[in-house]
Amino acid sequence: MLGYLGPEGTFTHEALISLNLDDTTQAYSSVGECLDAVRAGQVSAGMVPIENSVEGVVTATSDSISNGDPLQIRAEVLLPVVFGLYVRPGTQLADVRHVITHPHAAAQVRHWLAEKLPQAEITEKGSTAAAAQEVSHKDSSYDAAICSTGAGELYGLTAAASGIADNPNAVTRFILVSRPFTPEEPCGHDKTSLVVYLNDDHPGGLMEVLDQFSLRGINLCRIESRPAKDKMGNYHFSIDAEGHVAERRLQEALMGLHRTCRDVVFLGSYARADQVAQSVKESVRDVDFEEADTWMSRILHPGFRGVSPQE
C-alpha cells in the first residue's frame, strides 16, 4: 500500500497516480502523518510535495524527511501548478468573501487575489483538496476554495475562475519516499539528495562543501541553506547533486563530506523527473577510478609487476 498527502484529489494524489504503480493507496491528512506511516511500515512508500518554484522548499517535508528514522527517495515527479477558484454551484465570483486553501496555493495566487478579490479573507487549510471538500458542504462558512481542477470536480464544485496562478510556469516537485533500500541501478539521468550539517558556521565551511563536489567533477542541481532550529545564524544545506551513489565520484565526494562535516544525511539516488542526461567528464568516470586503483596497487605492491613469466 502507498500513502500520499490527501485527501483524494490533491496535486500529490495526481503525482502518485502519474507513476502508474500497481498498488492500493491511502490518503493522509499531513506530510508528517504520511511519513510516520512510511516509517512505521504501514505503507511501503509515501508521496509528498517537496518544492515549488515560487516558495521554494516545502518546509514541513524537508524537515520531517531529514529528522527521525531514515527515509530514502525512490522517485520524483514534476507537475505544473494549475489553480482555479472553485465554488458551490450558484456562487458568483463577486460574492466571494471567504476563501480557503493551502498556504502555498495562497502564495501562488497572491497577485490574482489582490486584483480580483482584494477584500477576501484567506483561511489556511492543510491541503487544497481539503479546502475543496470544506467548501463542498452546503453550510460551509467559506465561499470558495483555491484548488486543482481534479479536486474541484471531485467535490462537485464549479470554477468561478481558472488559470489563476500568478506564474503560469510554476511547477511543484513531489517525492516518493520509503525506508532505506539498496538504491536502484543508475539510469544515466540520476540525482542524489543530501542534507549536510556543517561542523561550525565558519564561512569557509560552505566553500569546502562545494569543493568536495567540484573536485570530483560533480554539478549541483540545487543547494539551499536552511536555518538550524536552535540558533540564529546556524545553517545546514539541502543539496541535490547530479549523479548516482553507485558511481565512484559520488561515493568519494559523499565520504569526503562525511569525514569533514558534522553530519550528512543521505536521502537517495533516483531518476531525475526532467530527464536531463548527465555528462561525466573524463577523469571522474568509474573507469578512471578503477584505473587509479590499479596504479596505486602497483605502487603499494611493486613486486606484483613482472609476476607473469611472459612479461
List beta partners, residue 85.
Answer: 146, 161
DSSP 8-state secondary structure symbol assigned to residue 83: -
Count of residues that interact with its own copies, criterion CB under 8 A: 77
CB 86, min distance to its own copies, A: 19
Query: Under the criterion CB under 8 A, does residue 286 sit at the interface with its own copies?
Result: no
DSSP classification of residue 243: S
CB of 263 to its own copies, least distance (A): 11
Instruction: In angstroms, give the least distance from the CB of 226 to its own copies.
Output: 7
Does position 255 interact with its own copies (CB under 8 A)? The reply is yes
Partnered with residue 75 across adjacent β-strands are 176
Q: How far is the CB of 42 from its own copies (least distance, A)?
A: 19
Q: What is the DSSP letter of 182?
A: P
Pairing of strands 144-147, 121-124: unpaired
CB 28 within 8 A of CB 6: yes
Which of the ranges 39-47, 89-97, 144-152, 293-301 carries the binding residues for its own copies, by CB under 8 A?
293-301
Window contacting its own copies (CB under 8 A); options: 12-20, 40-48, 51-59, 89-97: 51-59
CB 155 within 8 A of CB 133: yes
Distance in Å, CB of 195 to its own copies, minimum: 14
Q: How far is the CB of 17 from its own copies (least distance, A)?
A: 21
Cα 100 from Cα 149, distance rounded (Å):
15
Cβ-based neighbour number of residue 237 at 10 Å: 18
Q: Report in angstroms how near the CB of residue 302 gets to its own copies at its nearest.
A: 4
- What is d(CA 132, CA 117) in angstroms, rounded to the nearest whole number? 18
Considering only the stretches 15-23, 35-43, 152-160, 165-173, report the one whose residues sit in contact with its own copies under the rule CB under 8 A: 165-173
If 0-12 CB within 10 Å is exposed, 13-18 middle and 19+ buried, where does residue 305 land?
Answer: exposed
Smaller CB distance to its own copies: residue 2 or 113?
Answer: 113
Q: Which three cell numbers stand for residue 144?
A: 470558495
Q: How far apart are CA 192 and CA 168, in angstroms?
A: 28
Mask of contacts with its own copies, 168-207, x by CB under 8 A? -x-x-x------xxxx------------------xxx-xx
CA-wise closest residue to 157 among 229, 101, 213, 210? 101
Report whether 147 contacts 125 (CB < 8 A).
no
230 binds its own copies (CB under 8 A): yes
Instruction: For the segment 205-224, give every residue that binds its own copies (CB under 8 A).
Output: 206-208, 210-215, 219-224
Q: Which is nearer to its own copies, 148 or 178 (CB)?
A: 178
**Per rule CB under 8 A, is residue 40 in the interface with its own copies?**
no
Asked if 97 touches its own copies (CB under 8 A), the answer is: no
Site for its own copies in 100-119 (CB under 8 A): 103, 106-107
Given candidates 22, 94, 229, 307, which one binds its own copies under the rule CB under 8 A?
Answer: 229
Contact yes or no for 242/276 (Cβ under 8 A): no
Kindly state whether residue 95 participates in binding its own copies, applying the rule CB under 8 A: no
